[in-house]
Structure 1
Amino acid sequence: MKKEVSLVDRPDKLAGYDIEQYVAFCGNLSWYDFVTSMPQLVFVVTGWKSNGKENACLHSWSSFMGSGLEDFICILGKVNKDGHMYQSLKETKVCVLNFPSNDSYDRCVQTIKNNQFETDEITASGLTTEKATTIDAPRIKECFLNIECEYLWEQELFEGSKEVAIAVRAVNICMDSESYDQTKRGRYGNNGYLYYIDQPTNPETGEITPVGPGIVEPSEPIEWSGN
């Protein structure tokens, strides 16, 4: 049996806390973020702050799409206009998207704590900085995939929102050779892409199931009919 889940008719408590306070504490999320718990790719956006220090922002809520052979676009779906990441993108017009696997994820999480303006956020988190190939931005060496990007445009999520969606275009990709060979380390499974799973929530009780980052396990191919 399906249940209609309203935006306004919701439990008073979420994980035992006042729901409005909990949602605000978790980064200005919607109630529907918790209800749907849609997985999103995890990556770290890196660039330079205006003082020359490394900026690193652990990020999700984004989508990737190709548009012809030449254009591979990422829509950074939720960027706070008050954050270092937004300021860096507006000033430099470039960034690198760095994709960790399980063996480097714990250090990428440390960038959340090491986000002071005067801090080199990559190296302070136990990661290694390397130069990007085509743009002036730092890459994270430990990440198996690095996508160097140029800024295209931005759009408020809704009128008056403090967050924007930003489009960036890939201009260069660097990938670990063990990862692009799926017969070796590969892009999927325990050594591949990580997905943020936003605290699966029971919409009737407000009970939350704690989970960590998820992985993708590929299945057997399904024949495509072409219809």
Structure 2
Amino acid sequence: MKKEISIFEKPERFNDQYLQACGNMSWYDFVLAMPSLVFVVTGWKANGKENACLHSWSSFVGSGPGNFICIMNKVDKGGHMYQSLKETGVCVLNFPSNDIYERCIKTIHNNEFDTDEITAAGLTAETASKVNAPQIKECFLNIECEFLWEHELFEGSKEVAIALKAVNVCMDSEYYNQSKLGRYGKSGYLLYVDQPTNPETGETTEFGPGIMEQGIPLPLITK
């Protein structure tokens, strides 16, 4: 039986202060626990230091032969990443495998303005090929991007959606060969999952970064 779940009626634990501390989340983030790709956005801060922001809540889509677009759906206007994008107009999206995820988490804590955030997290910064931004050597995929536009999530929101256009891709050959490491499975893309929550009891299930396993191929039916 399906249950209607109000966005306003929630267990006491999920009060406004708790949701704010979790990253300005909605109660529905925990109820739905929808997965999205994990990556680290890198660029230069105004003082020339490396900026690295562990990110999710985004979507990727091609639109014609020359356009591959990333929509980052939740970017804080008060953060270093937003400021870097506005000042430079470029960034790199770096996709980690599970073996370096713990180091990527450290970018959250090593985020002072005077910190080289890639280096402080125990990762290696290298120069991107097509845009003026650093990228992470240890990540198996780097997507170099140019800023297209931004839009508030709603009027007066502290966060915006930002569109980026890919101008270059660098991928480890062991990953684009699916018979070797591949892009899926334990060594490939990571998915962020908010802790799945029982909307009636408020009980949460701890959940680490998810992975994608291949399903059974089905024929494409066009008519």
TM-score by length of 2: 0.99
1:133 pairs, out of 129, 143, 146, with 129
- 1:8 is aligned to 8
- CA deviations on 1:95-132 (whole Å, 9 max, x unpaired) are 00000001111111100010000000000100001110
2:9 partner letter: D
The ranges of structure 1 where at least 4 consecutive aligned residues each deviate by more than 2 angstroms after the TM superposition are: none
- 1:50 is aligned to 46
1:28 pairs, out of 16, 19, 24, with 24
TM-superposed CA distance for 1:21, in Å, is 2.0
**Whole-angstrom CA distance in 1 between matches of 2:76 and 2:11:** 28
- 2:206 is aligned to 210
**Whole-angstrom CA distance in 2 between matches of 1:205 and 1:12:** 10
1:165 partner letter: A
**Whole-angstrom CA distance in 1 between matches of 2:105 and 2:168:** 25
SS of match in other structure, 2:211: coil
**Whole-angstrom CA distance in 2 between matches of 1:51 and 1:9:** 45
**Whole-angstrom CA distance in 2 between matches of 1:13 and 1:140:** 37
**1:57-136 paired onto structure 2 within 5 Å:** 57-136=53-132
**Whole-angstrom CA distance in 1 between matches of 2:141 and 2:51:** 18
Asked if 1:150 is matched to 2:150, the reply is no
**Whole-angstrom CA distance in 2 between matches of 1:138 and 1:186:** 24
Flag structure 2 segments of 5+ consecutive residues without an equivalent.
Answer: none
TM-superposed CA distance for 1:220, in Å, is 2.1
Asked if 1:170 is matched to 2:166, the reply is yes
Asked if 1:37 is matched to 2:67, the reply is no
**Whole-angstrom CA distance in 1 between matches of 2:63 and 2:112:** 37
TM-superposed CA distance for 1:47, in Å, is 0.1
1:3 partner letter: K
TM-superposed CA distance for 1:225, in Å, is 1.4
TM-superposed CA distance for 1:24, in Å, is 1.1
- 1:198 is aligned to 194
**Aligned-CA RMSD value:** 0.7
Flag structure 1 segments of 5+ consecutive residues without an equivalent.
Answer: none
**Whole-angstrom CA distance in 1 between matches of 2:128 and 2:43:** 10
SS of match in other structure, 1:90: helix
1:88 partner letter: S
TM-superposed CA distance for 1:136, in Å, is 0.3
**Whole-angstrom CA distance in 2 between matches of 1:110 and 1:214:** 18
SS of match in other structure, 1:221: coil
Count how many residue pairs are aligned between Structure 1 and Structure 2: 223
